[in-house]
Chain A
Amino acid sequence: MNDKHITELLDNTPLASLSPGDREQIRSHADMCEPCRDAFAAAQLSAAVIKERAQLVTEPSPFFQTRVMAAWREQQATESGPALWRLWKSARALVSSMALTTAALAALSFMVSAPATTSVLDQTAAAPSAESVILGQDNDDQLTYEQVLNTIYVDEEDK
């Protein structure tokens, strides 16, 4: 039993968790085996430094909460930019197709209504102006002074 080297036993389990039987085995073997004695001494020191290291806990500074809140606000601010970008990316195809359709419809309506607009303009030009209608200055309907006299005389002669 004592002839068996103990290094595997030392590495398998934390020293603090070794059973009394295992401890006895380690001690009795370490007494007669120098390499295992060195290994046991090193294991004890390693366990001691690791235990000390594990007990060190850093406490938060008084400003830690403020720091976290500031970081959180910053994160929220940077996330709002990418959120709009994501929204644009998802809606980009829809918006583009809508814009294209609108442009096509506008072009189509312009082409179809272009002759009609011309005729309306022509009609507008040919039509008597509002002023002439109101004042009775229509050239076609207006008789000259001579025509009026002739008309009167002819009528009287006929009578």
Chain B
Amino acid sequence: MFSVASRFFRQRSLVEEAAQEVFLKAYTQLGSFEGRGSLEGWLTRIATNTCLNMLRGSKRRPEMTVSDLTEEEDQWLEHQRSDAEAKSVENSVVAADLADRLLSVLSPEDQQALLMIDGEQASIKEVAEATGWSESKVKVRAFRARKKIREAMERLLGSKREVMSR
């Protein structure tokens, strides 16, 4: 439950709020569980839909520009380009922050598809089961999200190069 909610939210209070709502929903809707799939799958779907509903009201942020980069994020990008293997807890947090800001231009559904497939190495089928979407819809969402994020990163790196060359 917490791993699903953590996919959507970074703030502990929001993760707990989502998890709490999932627990309450699961308890009240337990009678509707027909036992056709696994209980875990059923709970995952409730958790996913709850988080998506919570996020639907939130506004998408405008695309990140190079001026939005923090010093740590800037250093992380440089570091990653020169040595992709370097890794530390601090770096992971900086990278996660950067990811959040890049992902915030996407719809919650596209974020979900990308984080599950590219981040957690989930299969298309697993995402379809967790969300209730068709497999082709999952593929389309993942493709669209990956393209958007790559292009945003490309623009970010391009403007960073421009700033460096001045």
Complex Cα–Cα for A44 and B23 (A): 37
The residues of B that contact A46 with a CB separation of less than 8 Å are: 102, 146, 149-150, 153
Q: Identify A42's interface contact among B95, B114, B153, CB under 8 A.
A: B153
The residues of B that contact A53 with a CB separation of less than 8 Å are: 95-96, 99-100, 103, 115, 119
The residues of A that contact B3 with a CB separation of less than 8 Å are: 57
In the complex with contacts A50-B118, A56-B10, A11-B147 CB distance below 8 A = yes
A31-52 interface mask toward B, CB cutoff 8 Å, 1 = contact, 0 = none? 0000000110111111111111
User: Does B27 contact A72, Cβ atoms closer than 8 Å?
Assistant: yes
In the complex with contacts A53-B96, A56-B6, A61-B16, A68-B150 CB distance below 8 A = no
The residues of B that contact A55 with a CB separation of less than 8 Å are: 92, 96, 119
The residues of B that contact A12 with a CB separation of less than 8 Å are: 143
B20-48 interface mask toward A, CB cutoff 8 Å, 1 = contact, 0 = none? 10011001100000000000000000000
User: Does A16 contact B118, Cβ atoms closer than 8 Å?
Assistant: yes
Q: How large is the interface on A (under 10, 10 to 19, 20 to 34, 35 or more residues)?
A: 35 or more
Task: Indicate whether A128 reaches chain B with its CB closer than 8 angstroms.
Answer: no
Complex Cα–Cα for A94 and B72 (A): 71
The residues of A that contact B51 with a CB separation of less than 8 Å are: none
Chain B contact residues: helix, strand, loop or mixed: helix
- Among residues of A, the one whose C-beta sits closest to the C-beta of B94 is A52
User: Does B118 contact A47, Cβ atoms closer than 8 Å?
Assistant: yes
User: Does A38 contact B84, Cβ atoms closer than 8 Å?
Assistant: no
Q: Identify A14's interface contact among B12, B28, B146, CB under 8 A.
A: B146
In the complex with contacts A44-B84, A57-B3, A58-B5, A39-B150 CB distance below 8 A = yes
- Among residues of A, the one whose C-beta sits closest to the C-beta of B118 is A14
> Which residues of A are in contact with B by a Cβ distance under 8 Å?
7, 10-12, 14-17, 38-39, 41-61, 64, 67-68, 71-72, 75
List the 4 closest pairs (A to B, CB-CB), nearest first: A54-B119, A53-B99, A52-B95, A42-B154
Q: List 20 A-B contacts (CB under 8 A).
A: A14-B121, A14-B146, A16-B121, A38-B157, A45-B153, A46-B102, A49-B102, A50-B103, A50-B115, A50-B119, A51-B119, A52-B92, A53-B100, A56-B6, A57-B3, A58-B5, A58-B9, A58-B10, A64-B20, A68-B24
Please name 8 further chain A to chain B contacts, defined as beta carbons within 8 Å, in addition to the given A49-B102, A72-B24, sorted by A numbering: A45-B80, A50-B103, A55-B119, A56-B6, A56-B93, A56-B96, A57-B2, A64-B20
